[in-house]
Amino acid sequence: MRYLPKSDAERAAMLREIGASSIDDLFAVIPEEYRLARDLDIPRQMGESEIVEWFRSAAAKYTVRHTSFLGAGVYRHYRPCIIDSLVQRGEFLTSYTPYQAEITQGTLQAIFEFQTMIAELTGMDVANASMYDGSTGAAEAVMMAVRVTGRDGVLVARTVHPEYREVMHTYAQHREAETGDVMREVGYDPDSGRIDLAALEAAVTDQTACVLVQSPNFFGIIEDIPAIADIAHKKGALLVVSIAEAISLGIVRPPVEADIVSMEAQSFGVALCYGGPYCGVIAAKEKYVRQMPGRLVGQTTDRNGYRGFVLTLSTREQHIRREKATSNICTNQALVALMATIFLTVYGKEGIRELAEHNLAKSAYTAQVLAAGPGARLRFTGAPRFHEFVLHTDEDPAAWHHRLHEEKIVGGLELNRWYPELDHATLWCTTEIVPREKIDIAAKQLAAVSVEA
């Protein structure tokens, strides 16, 4: 096997030195009846060219270069090519969690830079080294709020990504089992598309550990964070803000009133890759740092006085605290966090704003031309949005989806799957990479509704 650095002669020699007569001696401890006497029933060993060909044809089953207006928590932005050339350096790609600081300063300093950038963008004091993704990050943020407040109740806006909410439910299960329905959802205002503040006010109690909202929310609407914070804080509950589109922070006011921010950083140079790997991250106010889940890198000096970085506050973590740990997370998304760090370094202070503006402009144009079609209108126009919007069409989306596919375009996502009340409503996203001509084609096709409709 071409990955194995041994010849049969070397294997034989090593067995001799061990004093084993054959390799089977080393597996003798496995009870006879459980030893596999046959080949595994998996495809035969392939050559590299065959492997590449196999994946090429799998990839080709989807005609690449479709234009897509899908967003909904996963956003296609241009990825500067230096990200890939840097993260593929073996020194980053093939090293482990930086337990041995003397020979992992590269990874450690990069994570420290990542933590700083996330804190700067979110308006929080500190950020961790990453979580699995935005959905598990949100669930961990909620558990963190429960630890901080010693309370159990959790209020989640229905405008939060439906799959994020499902994950939070899964994580809350056992607490539900014990203390009953700990997690409740708060509806949204039908014309602003924002969380219903009155309903929220009514729902928050002194048993509420936290209120969790997403902004921009699942409909692309920017929530009124200051107002929500007031409501939560009045009752001593924490405010957790989940951010699924990190690019929005280039132009949208950061949720400085929040106590914890849980963000999905996929937009920062990470490929869509059919859903992962992405990069969650939790940021918070300084005072909560010892309740944070996940790894943290801190600055220190070595015995000669050189500045250096180390994994720190690990008494929070499973390998020290075991069942008392703040989380069970061990492996995180380090390399993806590095991609995000490079992305943010490429765009920098000015670029992230300019990029966000382009997204805003593209989406505004798309909304305008799509809504101009017969029987089409925008939903939730009562509040500001970033680069996603909800479109209502009198025509059944299935019908125009078909017309768009003919043009190699994937249109907006149907919302009735999660919001039965939003029938014929679709969620559209336009990032900077969608060319105007495709937007116009989409508009033309949408407008080409057959008269009967």
Partner 1 sequence: MSNVLTPEASGTAPAGDTRTLGKVRPHQTQNEALVFEKSSPGKKAYRLAQLDVPAVDPGALLGDAVRREPGELPELSEIEIIRHFTRLSTWNYAIDLGMYPLGSCTMKYNPRVNELVARIEGLAEAHPYRPDFLAQGQLDVVDLLQKCLIEITGMDAITMQPAAGAHGEFTGILLTRAWHQSQGDPRRTVIIPDSAHGTNPATAAICGYSVENLKSNAEGGIDLEALARQVNDQTAALMLTNPSTIGVFESQIHKIAEILHANGALLYMDGANMNALCGKTRPGDFGVDVMHLNLHKTFSTPHGGGGPGCGPVACKAFLEPFLPIPVLVKDENGDKHWNYDRPQSVGRVRAFFGNFGMFVRALAYILANGPDGLRQTTEDAVLNANYIRKKLEDVYDLPYNTPSMHEVVFSDRRQLKNGVRTGDIAKRLIDYGFHPYTVSFPLIVHGALMIEPTESESREELDLFVAAMRQIAREVEENPQLVLDAPHSTRVSRLDETTAARKPILRYRKPA
Ligand X SMILES: Cc1ncc(COP(=O)(O)O)c(C=O)c1O
Binding site for a second copy (CB under 8 A): 48-49, 52, 78, 80-81, 85, 88-89, 433
Closest C-alpha among 432, 437, 443 to residue 361 = 432
Residue 54: name its binding partner from partner 1, a second copy, ligand X, none (Cβ under 5 to 8 Å by kind): partner 1
Residue 442: name its binding partner from a second copy, partner 1, ligand X, none (Cβ under 5 to 8 Å by kind): none
DSSP 412: P
Closer residue to a second copy, CB minimum distance, 244 or 409: 409
Site for ligand X in 307-336 (CB under 6 A): 330-331
450 binds partner 1 (CB under 8 A): no
Please name the residue that has the structure tokens 């075991």.
322
DSSP secondary structure letters along 351-405: HHHHHHHHHHHHHHHHHHHHHTSTTEEES-TTS-BSSEEEEEESS-HHHHHHHHH
Closer residue to partner 1, CB minimum distance, 236 or 447: 447
20 binds ligand X (CB under 6 A): no
Residues that contact partner 1, how many (by CB under 8 A): 207
Please name the residue that has the structure tokens 């001696």.
25
User: Smallest distance from the beta carbon of 3 to a second copy, in angstroms?
Assistant: 11
User: Smallest distance from the beta carbon of 85 to a second copy, in angstroms?
Assistant: 7
Closer residue to a second copy, CB minimum distance, 350 or 421: 350
Residue length of the chain: 453
> Which of 213, 240, 338, 422 is close enough to bind partner 1 by CB under 8 A?
338
Closer residue to ligand X, CB minimum distance, 136 or 217: 136
State how far the Cα of 337 lies from the Cα of 78, in Å rounded to an integer. 17
State how far the Cα of 179 lies from the Cα of 209, in Å rounded to an integer. 14
Please name the residue that has the structure tokens 């492997």.
51
21 binds partner 1 (CB under 8 A): no
> Which of 150, 274, 420, 452 is close enough to bind partner 1 by CB under 8 A?
274
State how far the Cα of 272 lies from the Cα of 160, in Å rounded to an integer. 20
384 binds partner 1 (CB under 8 A): yes
Site for partner 1 in 41-80 (CB under 8 A): 41-52, 54-62, 64, 66, 68, 70, 72-74, 76, 78, 80
184 binds partner 1 (CB under 8 A): no
Residue 44: name its binding partner from partner 1, ligand X, a second copy, none (Cβ under 5 to 8 Å by kind): partner 1
The contacts of residue 365 (CB under 8 Å, 6+ apart) are 430, 436, 439
DSSP 103: G
Site for partner 1 in 210-229 (CB under 8 A): 222
- Collapsed DSSP state (helix, strand, coil) of residue 297: strand
Closer residue to a second copy, CB minimum distance, 52 or 361: 52
State how far the Cα of 453 lies from the Cα of 177, in Å rounded to an integer. 48
- 161: which 2 tokens? 């990504």
